[in-house]
Amino acid sequence: MHFLLYFKDMEYYLVKWKGWPDSTNTWEPLQNLKCPLLLQQFSNDKHNYLSQVKKGKAITLKENHRALKPAIAEYIVKKAKQRIALQRWQDELNRRKNHKGMIFVENTVDLEGPPSDFYYINEYKPAPGISLVNEATFGCSCTDCFFEKCCPAEAGVLLAYNKNQQIKIPPGTPIYECNSRCQCGPDCPNRIVQKGTQYSLCIFRTSNGCGWGVKTLVKIRRRSFVMEYVGEVITSEEAERRGQLYDNKGITYLFDLDYESDEFTVDAARYGNVSHFVNHSCDPNLQVFNVFIDNLDTRLPRIALFSTRTINAGEELTFDYQMKGSGDISSDSIDHSPAKKRARTVCKCGAVTCRGYLN
């Protein structure tokens, strides 16, 4: 439905018929329309537009020759097209994901549609010339990984989780999960990150100028695994080059894999998952951990985000872009070249402890 007019005290709507060209559009009286959801969306879009214009300029339908102003009609058409585009993008994201949690998309703020140059992936995408060996060379033979000498013990660290699947180790301690060579089954308590996001999340348009963000649609317990940070794995030299470009655009997607060395960086600008849309906060509710599962190369840890506290349904998810997997704060953990050589990106997190800049 694009337009609305009154004729002989009856409401008429110009209807765009699904699957038919615009040349077949018809004016239909309200009683002919059996689509309450579309009618409600039409009314909401009209109200939202009128609420955005300055007071005194909002003209009622009857004052404006009993028809919609062209500007209102244009907005409603754009909003309808945006809604269709976002729904298609949401469907695509859910087809591509390989985890339990559903992905929803929402924009009640502006007319921004899906990003034009973003591709959803579920795991690291190595850049040309980089090899990711995703097959472990050994595994455990435990019957109960809680009480036997399991993969973490072999690596010289503690088992990361308690029996409630919550992380119990401090930030900076690596996580070693059971892998494809282990004889334990899929219900092993040491298989958490590899199962992917279990929570339904929503990519939404923020109202504070931070672009897209991510909020949880369900309550998340403290110290629970929420998502991985994935993207294209590139060399530190390439990250330096891209970082200069990203800084000029005011975007930040580079995450150094600096658990043991600084040879590689994850770039989630074009390739990534839901974490691509998670905003920064100087007082975040997610914490970074390095994870090793099938790839035991300490130069290439997986990056997992765990909740630092209980996160309620509807609350935005954030992590500190300067947080390293070691648990330390460093200005070179993301966009790792010296800040004095880089354009500074202003932080909009609004936290009491805000540092003022993202890099």
- Annotated binding residues for Zn(2+), written as ranges, equal 140, 142, 145, 150-151, 178, 182, 184, 188, 282, 347, 349, 354
Distances (CA, A) of 246 to 4, 162, 263, 347: 44, 40, 20, 15
Known binding residues: 140, 142, 145, 150-151, 178, 182, 184, 188, 282, 347, 349, 354
Residue 57 DSSP SS3 = coil
CA nearest neighbour of 173 among 290, 80, 262, 56: 290
Distances (CA, A) of 292 to 83, 157, 169, 174, 297: 40, 12, 15, 8, 8
Place of tokens 């309550």: 219
The residues carrying an active-site annotation are: 229, 321
Kindly give the interhelix angle for 36-52 and 70-96, rounded to the nearest 10 degrees: 120
Write out the DSSP string of 261-324: --SEEEE-SSEE-GGGGPEE-SS-SEEEEEEESS---TTS-EEEEEESS-B-TTPBPEE-TTB-
How far, in Å, CA of 57 to CA of 91, rounded? Answer: 38
Q: What are phi and psi of 256, to 5 degrees?
A: -70, 135
How far, in Å, CA of 228 to CA of 249, rounded? Answer: 25
